[in-house]
Amino acid sequence: MTEEKTIESNQLDHSLRYEISEKVGAKSLLKCIQCGVCSSGCTVSEYIDLQPHRVVASLLLGLKDIILESNAIWTCSLCHRCTERCPKGVDYSFILALLRNIASKEGKIPIEYSSTVETISENGFVVPYTGRMKNTINRRREKMGLPEVSSPDLDEINYILKETGLGNLMKKSKEDED
Amino acid sequence: MKIKMKFALFLGCTIPLKYPHLESAFREVSRIMDIELEEMKGASCCPEPVSLQSINVDAWMTLGARNLAIAEKMGMDVLTICSGCYETLKTVKVLLGRDKKQFNKVNSILKNIGYEYKGTSNVFHFVELFSRKEMLSQLEEKVVKPLDDLNIAAHYGCHLIRPSEIMEFDDPERPETMDSILNVLGARTVAFASKLECCGYCARLNEDIGYDLVKQKVVELVDLQSPVDAMVAVCPACVSQYDRKERILSRKLDKNLDIPILYLPELMAIALGVSTEKLDLNKRSVKPTKLIAKLKI
């Protein structure tokens, strides 16, 4: 049995639904009718503690902590079946991405995710491609008759990361290393 | 009159840096099909739809728009060879086309590093290209090694076809494009219950999900009445996920799981007469030994 918990209305985050639904791709959020199609077809439904339609209900009510504490937002396999089948056109998988964005802003990012961003920041790619690694890869490619892969300008990549607010994430992980 | 096709080739990261033999297969097929490919100098990771989109949608869109802006400057449409790249670049294009505010936000950042995103280049996955009616008949004409004896299971994966409202590519519940390509090469494609299931690669926090999904599909295929000679995918994540996990599951379950997973261009290349020396077909955990013997290649 789950423990019952009372949440006062003044503890709800009433702006959450608008914060999410104003973003391109998530405008349909407010149309949810709680039919549960998203949950019935969810690839990871047996692994999560809050089913997709319950995440949306919590989001509409402003139960931010319940959502951010559930494992539902980071367990998604990104199969997009929820979005595909929603009769009201709610793009649940994109809304979930925006919820992960909110968790990230609060510093709650699983290492499996933040490490990829670091790799992109350092290499421009999700695969290490600098120094000795770069030489090894290109020698292999040359043997196969494939052209060398050109590296992107990392200053440009990091400028974009910084301007979109990911500068702190990069800085923080550097500090953690030290 | 035949119009020559020319594309800006978006390689992404995983294929060129980790699995270049898959890129070779694709380039061989393009050469035979007379598709001209121009390298996209300075392109970065698409960026991949799992982590970057999850952490910051603005960064994801802006990096994606930077890649698209490179193709725009080349005056060409983009051709992707990975479903993750396809999803990112196409979704970014569609969403930026729908939202002027986001479009301006992205461009205000790009402007400072000398780029402008206009939205003039279209984004294609090679499956979309090769499954066009005229391309299918051209493919059929060029087959020199028909795959007549093969039974193939097509794995579409998720990002190629969903969400259809954005991808607008194939029937999301009953896709046919991959099957149609395999059929003109001469192969039979099988119907199976878990055909549209996800490979689980993107469920990064819990590896059990991946194992369960791979098990579901591979065990179903092994137990089919008419056995399949290979599973075929069009995304490097799906290819590596099945290849690696099938081998491990085989030991764990003490069951002989031996269905090789190939990247669609590899099978296309075989049918189009590319020599196996150029293809590195054994560069995988589950070797396509039986398939090679059956085709006598």
What are A143-164's pLDDT values in tens digits? 999 999 999 999 999 999 999 9
Q: Where in chain B is the domain with CATH 3.40.50.11810?
A: 145-295
Q: Where in chain B is the domain with CATH 1.20.1050.140?
A: 5-125
Which among A67, A76, A83, A113 is positioned nearest to B209, based on CA atoms? A76
Q: A157 — contact with chain B (CB < 8 Å)?
A: yes
Average pLDDT value over all residues in chain B: 96
Is the domain of A68 the same as that of A144?
A: no
Is the domain of A19 the same as that of A95?
A: yes
Please report the pLDDT score of residue A176 as a whole number: 58
CA-CA distance, A33 to B82, in Å (whole number)? Answer: 35
Is the domain of A38 the same as that of A87?
A: yes
Within a domain: A6: no
Residue A3: pLDDT band with limits 50, 70, 90: confident
pLDDT digits (tens, 9 = 90+) for A82-112: 999 999 999 999 999 999 999 999 999 999 9
Bridge partners (DSSP) listed for residue B123: B78
Is the domain of A86 the same as that of A62?
A: yes
Is the domain of A66 the same as that of A120?
A: no
Is the domain of A73 the same as that of A118?
A: no
The CATH code for residues B145-295 is 3.40.50.11810
Greatest extent of chain A over all pairs of C-alpha atoms, in Å: 67
- The yes-or-no verdict on residue A7 having pLDDT over 60 is yes
State the alpha helices, DSSP H only, in chain B.
Answer: 14-18, 20-32, 51-55, 57-74, 83-98, 100-111, 126-130, 133-142, 164-167, 177-184, 207-222, 236-253, 264-271, 289-295
Q: A81 — contact with chain B (CB < 8 Å)?
A: yes
Three-class SS state of B261: strand
Q: Chains A, B: CB contacts under 8 A, how many?
A: 186
State the alpha helices, DSSP H only, in A4-80.
Answer: 16-21, 37-40, 52-61, 64-69, 72-75
* CB–CB contact A124 B58 (8 Å): no
Q: Looking at residues B98-103, what average pLDDT do you find?
A: 95
Pick the last residue of a domain from A61, A78, A105: A105
pLDDT digits (tens, 9 = 90+) for B70-100: 999 999 999 999 999 999 999 999 999 999 9
Within a domain: A160: yes
CA-CA distance, A106 to B69, in Å (whole number)? Answer: 32
Q: Which residues of B touch A98 (CB under 8 A)?
A: 57
Please report the pLDDT score of residue B98 as a whole number: 94
Which among B141, B110, B57 is positioned nearest to A166, based on CA atoms? B57
ipTM > 0.85, yes or no: yes
| Lookup: tokens for B4 | 């020559």
Is the domain of A34 the same as that of A100?
A: yes
The total of structural domains in chain A comes to 2
**A70 against A177, higher pLDDT:** A70
The chain B residue lying nearest A89, using CA atoms, is B165
Within a domain: A5: no
Is the domain of A95 the same as that of A117?
A: no
Average pLDDT value over all residues in chain A: 92
Nearest residue, CB atoms, A165 vs list B17, B41, B56: B56
Is the domain of A97 the same as that of A134?
A: no
| Lookup: tokens for B54 | 């999850």
For tokens 């990012």, name the residue.
A109
- Domain assignment of residue A93, given as a range: 11-105
Candidates B38, B46, B56: best to mutate against A (most CBs of A within 10 A) is: B56
What is the percent of chain A with per-residue pLDDT over 90, rounded to a whole number? 82
Is the domain of A131 the same as that of A147?
A: yes
Please report the pLDDT score of residue A24 as a whole number: 80
Is the domain of A48 the same as that of A124?
A: no
CA-CA distance, B132 to B199, in Å (whole number)? Answer: 26
Domain B5-125 fold: Glutathione S-transferase Yfyf (Class Pi); Chain A, domain 2 (1.20.1050)
Is the domain of A82 the same as that of A68?
A: yes
Which among B18, B36, B17 is positioned nearest to B27, based on CA atoms? B36
